[in-house]
Amino acid sequence: MHANQLTDDVLRSLSEVEADEPVVVSMWVNLDPSLFATAAARSTQFNSLLNDLAEQMRDGDLSHDAQEALKADRERIERFLTSEIDVSDAQSIAIYSAQALDFFQVIKLAEPMDPGVHVDLRPMLEPLLGHEDEGEWCVLLVTRDSGRIFRGGLTGIREIRDVHSDVKNQHQQGGWSQARFERSVNQEVEWHLEAVTDLLFRIYKRRPFDHLIIGANNQNLRGALSGETHSYLLERVRGWIDIDEGLASEDDVFAAARVVMDEHQANEERELLERFEAERATGGRAASNLKDVLEALVEQRVETLLVHEGAEAEGAKCVTCGWIGTAGHVNCPVDETHLDRVENIIEPAIQSAIQQSADVHLITTPQDPESEKAGPFDGPVAAVLRY
């Protein structure tokens, strides 16, 4: 069974899955080798998750058809977990299964997740936020005669190309011959850097990336690279790293790059929250409470949905037109359909945002002990609006 990487397209396909009864299983399996290195440890976790799923099936007020569908889901998930699954390089996996909808999706994640299982009308997406890996980061490592290029994201990177050039070694001879020799070596290094940066630009044109990190311990190389690299790439440079370019493993490179990635993400979040605060302070394009955010989602005015990690709130949803709102509404204001009560309206809100191509940003900022606020905004969600 093939397991997919988490991309925006995969998230969008998950956001479109919805059933009339709670028959959609969301399961997260931890494969962290420090905790589940042995088959026995993994088997214990698998059995615990499957037992939890069976318990939710017994406790739920489900129709006979829903019970039968979930039994088939449990059997399918059990077969998958006990088979030879392709989860190389994964620290955890997310499994989404809905036999009633003929749907089954397994997603590899490069970071450990707490094991768990949940049955609902739709896939539970909040735990996946922040794990997306579209290859939007690129890492270039350069020496005077080699180059290595990596692609990936916040959950991991992989090496995609390497370049080696025949550059003479520098040595001391003295006199005019030494000066001519050094000029020759410098010319070869320049040709090498030109070849590396040309390759990088070709890769960018075939599959663009948003962020670039460069590793070059030699300060002279850093200056030369800045002169050889295309301006499109230079404006995407987020930082420089010091690392043994030739010997570093993928894990070594990712560990060094992750420092730059985290700093960039923190800066982006800070800028996003500053923009939200500025819009809210002037009565501009911001929604700061659940009611206003849900209304903006219905009207497709949300540019970025801000979600507190673990946020929950009751709400209501129309099964006919998809309208969502806060708890207390009885009939849909659009078509008068009797609304379904939703235990946690945050998940349909995330689904709605993804479906209308809005960004969804998970806020993990801890609560300020000197403030009564739960974070950078009151309530479970907020939004920056398009208009």
Q: Using one digit for the tens of pLDDT, what is the confidence trace for 29-42? A: 998 888 887 888 88
Count of residues making up the chain: 387
Q: In this structure, is residue 279 part of a structural domain?
A: no
**107 and 145 belong to one structural domain:** no
Of the candidates 100, 128, 156, which is a domain's last residue? Answer: 128
Give a yes or no: residue 344 inside a domain: yes
Q: What is the DSSP letter of 19?
A: -
Residue 97 near residue 103, CB atoms below 8 Å: yes
> Residues 254, 151: one domain?
yes
Which helix (DSSP H) or strand (DSSP E) does residue 302 occupy?
strand 302-308
110: domain CATH number is 3.30.960.10
Domain that holds residue 328: 285-385
Do 314 and 261 belong to one domain?
no
Please give the DSSP secondary-structure letter assigned to residue 338. Answer: B
Task: Tell me: do 153 and 258 sit in the same domain.
Answer: yes
Asked if 290 and 210 sit in the same domain, the reply is no
Question: Mind listing the pLDDT tens digit for each residue in 153-195?
Answer: 887 888 999 988 876 665 545 444 555 545 555 678 788 888 8
Q: Are residues 148 and 258 in the same domain?
A: yes
Same-domain check for residues 124 and 141: no
Looking at the structure, do residues 309 and 250 belong to the same domain, yes or no?
no
Q: How many CB atoms lie within 10 A of CB 228?
A: 19
By the 8 A CB rule, do 80 and 9 touch?
no
Report the Cα 121 to chain-centroid distance in Å.
23
Strand partners for 163: 147
**Could you tell me if residue 257 is inside a domain?**
yes
Are 78 and 167 contained in the same domain? Answer: no
3-state DSSP helix/strand/coil percent for the chain, to nearest 5?
A: 40, 25, 40
- Is residue 277 a part of any domain in this protein? no
Considering the domain boundaries, does residue 272 fall inside one? no
CATH number for position 167: 3.30.420.60
pLDDT at position 365, please?
66
CB within 8 Å of 293: residues ≥ 6 apart: 287, 302, 305, 349, 381, 382, 383
Q: Which of 312, 335, 341, 377 is nearest to 124 (CA)?
A: 312
Are 18 and 121 members of one domain?
Answer: yes
Are the beta carbons of 359 and 386 closer than 8 angstroms?
Answer: no
Tokens standing for residue 56 = 């939710």
CA-only gyration radius of the chain, Å = 26
Edge-to-edge order in the sheet of strand 237-241: 156-164, 146-153, 137-142, 211-215, 237-241
Residue that is last in its domain, among 105, 128, 151: 128
Q: 215 and 162, same structural domain?
A: yes
Beta bridge partners of 178: none
Q: Which of 110, 128, 146 is the last residue of a domain?
A: 128
Which CATH number characterizes residue 331's domain? 3.30.1330.30
Q: What does each of the 387 residues of the chain score in pLDDT, given as a tens digit? A: 567 888 888 999 999 999 999 999 999 999 888 888 788 888 999 999 999 999 999 877 889 999 999 999 999 999 999 886 666 667 899 999 999 999 999 998 878 899 999 999 999 999 998 777 667 899 999 988 889 999 988 878 889 999 888 766 655 454 445 555 455 556 787 888 888 999 999 999 988 999 999 998 777 777 778 777 888 899 999 999 988 877 889 999 999 999 999 999 999 999 999 999 999 999 999 999 999 999 999 999 999 999 998 899 999 999 899 999 999 999 999 999 999 999 999 999 999 999 999 999 998 765 454 554 556 788 899 999 999
110 within some domain: yes
From first CA to last CA, the distance across the chain in angstroms is 44
Strand order in the sheet with 24-30: 4-5, 103-109, 92-98, 24-30, 116-120
* Of residues 192, 199, 229, the one with CA closest to residue 214: 229
Within this chain, do residues 22 and 112 fall inside the same structural domain, yes or no? yes
Buried b (16+ CB within 10 A) or exposed e, 199-215: bbeebbeeeebebbbbb
| Domain contains 275 | no
Domain count, the chain: 3
Let me know: does 250 contact 234? Beta carbons within 8 Å. Answer: no
Question: Whole-structure pTM over 0.85, yes or no?
Answer: no
Residue 271 lies in a domain: no
Structure tokens at 52: 């939890």
Q: Which residues pair with 363 in a beta bridge?
A: 308
Looking at residue 181, its pLDDT comes to 43
